[in-house]
Amino acid sequence: MADLCHVPPEILLPAANETLELALGSQIALNCTVRWAATEHCEPVPAWTKDGQWLGSESSQDTAWFGQNASERLLASVLQLNLTHDADFGVFACWVSNATATFTLRRVEAAGHVPAVLAALLVLVLLVLLAGLYVRCRLNMLLWYRNHYGELEINDGKLYDAYVSHATAPDDRKFVHFIMKPQLENRYGYKLFLDEQTILPNSEPSADLIMNVSRCRRLIVVLSVAYLEQDWCNSSFREGLWRLLELSKKPIFIVFESQYREITHPAISLLKQHRSAVTLLVWRAGSMTPSSDFWKELCLALPRKVSFQGTMGDPQTQLQEDKDPMLILHSSYLDSGGDLHPDGDLGTGLRGYVFGSPKPPRIGGPGTPMALAASTMEDTQVRDSQKTELDISDLGSRNYGARTDFYCLVTEDDI
């Protein structure tokens, strides 16, 4: 090593002891650059050590030059390394006169392609499982969300959940009356209005159809081969479809798979083109089971059902608090079975239990129980003999004008 300088050279590179993490098989160049004053009459010679062992001078490439103002000199020593073995890693030190720079080389495992490929396959399998789960459980999830957070169609004045139009063919009647109606009404609690008449005679909705559909929340059409033989289906199905879209919100059309492939009617292609405006369902061989996708899709197309404990009838109708006697299912107060003389009291005042109300009790003294028993026997005798003892000889002289004493709220003295 050459003579030491009076002032130690300044290390420019590296700025501090440097630690490098490299993979096996890497190549690296360690650069050690120093600077010292030109007035120093010394010629520093760089030397390298590895783990305290001196390396030969041929292991590095040294370059010296003057600075810009010729008052300083610079020296760069570059050590080339090929890290092909574990022994090639360690602590390397660059000695320039009485200055030292240290490089620490550590081995790290290189990220191979196998973990990346395995991770990609795992993500792909997970996506496939999620896709299969969605396809299998999509309808169940949609039904659950609709039943918990769907829109409630109440207070809308509707009496039925769906208006079902079908043909008079025996197969259509069996399907509607023995399959669809029991399933929707008994299992899901829907209320259906069945009609086998032509809904669009002369391609125009009849007054009965408008009235009946206005009472229903949905419209279901069983589009069988027999149904497509109707005049409006053959002559103007497109115009009839627009009429149905005006009457009902997204009508539901049901076709049979056995006939679906054989039907060449333009109505099927027209319904396919307007899937966003209508609901097209296909009855397949496996649709008979209650858990089939057909019933789930049909329930999704029908309104959300509301059920309350302790109520009778359709709660979506009862919530309207409609007191119209024509809409009350159990209007027992209209029953006059308890009235002995529904045509009038004939002036006797003996009318029985009007509107199901009991007779007023009699007020008496200490002997009230005895009096009640006696009065009960007396009333029984009166009722048994009223037909024979009733005197109606003065009916013609009686005044049958309207009584006004019931409506007098104040007397003349109060005025």
pLDDT in tens, 148-171: 888 888 788 889 999 999 999 999
Check if the beta carbon of residue 32 is closer than 8 Å to that of residue 77.
yes
Helix 113-149 with 293-301: angle, nearest 10 deg = 50
In the chain, % of residues over pLDDT 90: 26
Mean pLDDT, rounded, for 15-21: 87
- Tell how far CA 22 is from the center of its chain: 53
- Gap between the Cα atoms of 31 and 76, Å rounded: 7
Nearest to residue 18, comparing CAs of 37, 6, 31, 1?
Answer: 31
Nearest to residue 238, comparing CAs of 284, 277, 210?
Answer: 277
Give the residue, 143 or 15, on which the prediction is more confident: 143
Per DSSP, the residues of 370-410 read HHHHHHHHHHHHHHHHHHHH---TTGGGS--SPP-GGG--S
pLDDT-based confidence at 383, cuts 50/70/90? low
Per DSSP, the residues of 67-133 read -TTSSEEEEEEEEEEEE-SGGG-EEEEEEETTEEEEEEEEEE----HHHHHHHHHHHHHHHHHHHHH
Please give the pLDDT value at position 97: 81
- The answer on pLDDT for 310 being more than 80 is no
- The answer on pLDDT for 290 being more than 50 is yes
Mean pLDDT, rounded, for 355-372: 49
pLDDT digits (tens, 9 = 90+) for 104-125: 999 887 666 788 889 999 999 9
Range 373-379, long-range pairs (CB < 8 A, 24+ positions): none
Opening angle at CA 22, ends 79 and 99, nearest 5: 40
Which DSSP state fits 171? H
* Helix H or strand E segment including 63: strand 60-66
Count CB atoms within 10 A of the CB of residue 21.
11
Count CB atoms within 10 A of the CB of residue 10.
14
pLDDT-based confidence at 350, cuts 50/70/90? very low
Give the residue, 56 or 263, on which the prediction is more confident: 56
Check if the beta carbon of residue 343 is closer than 8 Å to that of residue 349.
no
- Gap between the Cα atoms of 342 and 299, Å rounded: 48
pTM strictly above 0.95: no
Which DSSP state fits 4? P
- Tell how far CA 263 is from the center of its chain: 34
Please give the pLDDT value at position 340: 45
- The answer on pLDDT for 336 being more than 50 is no
Rg (the chain; Cα; Å): 51
